[in-house]
Amino acid sequence: MDQAFIQRRRRDLVVAAFLAAIAAAVPLFVKDVYVQNIMVLTLMYAALSQSWNILSGYCGQISLGHALYFGLGAYTTALLFTKFGVLPWFGMLAGGLLSAVIAMALGYPCFRLGGHYFVIATIVIAEITLLLFHNWDWAGAALGIDIPIRQDSWLTFQFTRSKLPYFYFALVLACVAWFVTWWLEDSKWGYWWRAVKDNPLAAESLGVVVFNSKMGAAAVSAFLVAIGGSFYGQFVSYIDPESVMGFQFSLLMALPAVLGGIGTLWGPMLGAVILIPLTELTRSYIGGSGRGVDLIVYGGLIIAISLARPQGLVSLFSRKPKAAAKPVREAVAS
């Protein structure tokens, strides 16, 4: 193995540990609840985007229906808690496993689809599930579920007095998602995924089991996103189909990765840290009037960054000479 590569991976790990330590210390100085709320959301979206990135970024299967797994995580946890009194921790695990199984079951027919057919299938499946939950009375239908507050404790995963426990859980979640990505990046799976993304036919001929590696990516990705959904349900203590399974959510979890750099280790983190505070601040400072200025800023920014930095903002930090590894296609096209 290339010495520089091993060094880079080691450096990534050290940098991540350092950043996590700084993040953990921030709430000691920042007591403002509004700011803490934004930090929780930022970490949550970082975790979601990092998880989305595994299937869509590394493995190249662009999913715009990941809200499905987010919603399943939130609903499984909330339903188990309100109907059967099952603690959210078990609900979280159940939601994660259920989502992973469903992702694989859906992957079975969907992974045969190419390009836009796949993207639209993911949108449509999430949309069907959303509509079914809308009409499913036992699960609260369109009204959703109010998660009753039992007691403030880690046992019930409910905290009404302080946002800090949520913050630390979101931080752990983001770290886990990052670490899983870091770990998989240099595993057999990571190489398979990149091979499948670049050229499935060539990968197949080299002995990569394309179908299985897509399934693996889908399962890991869905599991982590569902954990995020469970967390979100506990955090806001109220869920309804639109707020946890809407198409907007699928996009919101893809955007940080897209802006930061898809298929990269740091892209989703960077994207979330820039995008989520910006979204929240524009929403509360200029969006409050309900006049859509936040949408204008947000939309303009998405266009600008995706056109100006197609590799994502993370490419600003890369020291690799740009001439290297230029695809042939591009030289022909220009």
Partner 1 sequence: MTAETIIQSLASGLLMGLLYGLIAVGLALIFGLMDVVNFAHGEFLMIAMYATFFLFAFFALDPLLAAPLVAAALFVFGAVVYLLVVRFAVRAKANTGMVQIFSTFGLAVLMRGVAQYFFTPDYRSIPHSWLGGKTISIGGIYLPQPQLIGALIAIAAFAGLYFFIHRTDFGRALEATREDAGAVALVGIDKNKVFALGWGLGAALVGLAGAVMSIFFYVFPDVGASFATIAYVTVALGGFGSVFGAFAGGIIVGLVEATTTLILPPSLKTVGIYGVYLLVVFIRPRGLFGSI
The first and second tokens of residue 314, run together, are: 């993370």
Stretch that binds partner 1, among 186-194, 202-210, 234-242, 291-299 (CB under 8 A): 291-299
Q: Is 332 in the site for partner 1 (CB under 8 A)?
A: yes
* Residues binding partner 1: number (CB under 8 A): 49
Stretch that binds partner 1, among 12-20, 119-127, 147-155, 161-169 (CB under 8 A): 119-127
**How crowded is residue 75: how many other Cβ atoms within 10 Å of its Cβ?**
29
The first and second tokens of residue 290, run together, are: 């309900």
Candidate residues 125, 210, 274, 278; the one interacting with partner 1 per rule CB under 8 A:
125
DSSP type of residue 143: G
Q: Is 131 in the site for partner 1 (CB under 8 A)?
A: yes
Question: Which secondary-structure segment (H or E) carries 146?
Answer: strand 145-146
Q: What separation in angstroms does the CA of 77 have from each of 85, 130, 158, 229, 253?
A: 10, 17, 13, 9, 20
Burial of 50 (0-12, 13-18, 19+ CB in 10 A): buried
Q: Is 333 in the site for partner 1 (CB under 8 A)?
A: yes
Whole-angstrom distance, CA of residue 211 vs CA of residue 52? 18
Side chain identity, residue 72: L
Q: Is 164 in the site for partner 1 (CB under 8 A)?
A: no
Question: Which secondary-structure segment (H or E) carries 238?
Answer: strand 238-239
Stretch that binds partner 1, among 30-38, 96-104, 187-195, 292-300 (CB under 8 A): 292-300
Whole-angstrom distance, CA of residue 277 vs CA of residue 135? 34
Q: Is 295 in the site for partner 1 (CB under 8 A)?
A: yes
Q: Answer for the pair 47, 180: CB distance below 8 angstroms, yes or no.
A: no
Q: Is 135 in the site for partner 1 (CB under 8 A)?
A: yes
Side chain identity, residue 232: Y
Stretch that binds partner 1, among 6-14, 24-32, 218-226, 297-305 (CB under 8 A): 297-305
Whole-angstrom distance, CA of residue 169 vs CA of residue 13? 20
Q: Is 302 in the site for partner 1 (CB under 8 A)?
A: yes
Tell me whether residue 149 or residue 296 sits nearer to partner 1 (CB atom).
296
Q: Is 299 in the site for partner 1 (CB under 8 A)?
A: yes
Q: Is 288 in the site for partner 1 (CB under 8 A)?
A: no
Candidate residues 34, 114, 206, 285; the one interacting with partner 1 per rule CB under 8 A:
114
Stretch that binds partner 1, among 34-42, 131-139, 166-174, 209-217 (CB under 8 A): 131-139
Q: Is 62 in the site for partner 1 (CB under 8 A)?
A: yes
Query: Per-residue x/- marks for partner 1, 246-285, CB under 8 A?
Result: -x---x---x--x---xx----------------------
DSSP type of residue 286: T
DSSP type of residue 313: G
Tell me whether residue 135 or residue 199 sits nearer to partner 1 (CB atom).
135
Q: Is 210 in the site for partner 1 (CB under 8 A)?
A: no
Which of 281, 333, 292, 291 has its CA nearest to residue 42? 281
Residues that bind partner 1 (CB under 8 A): 62, 109, 112-117, 119-121, 123-125, 127-128, 131-132, 134-135, 247, 251, 255, 258, 262-263, 290-304, 306-307, 310-312, 330, 332-333
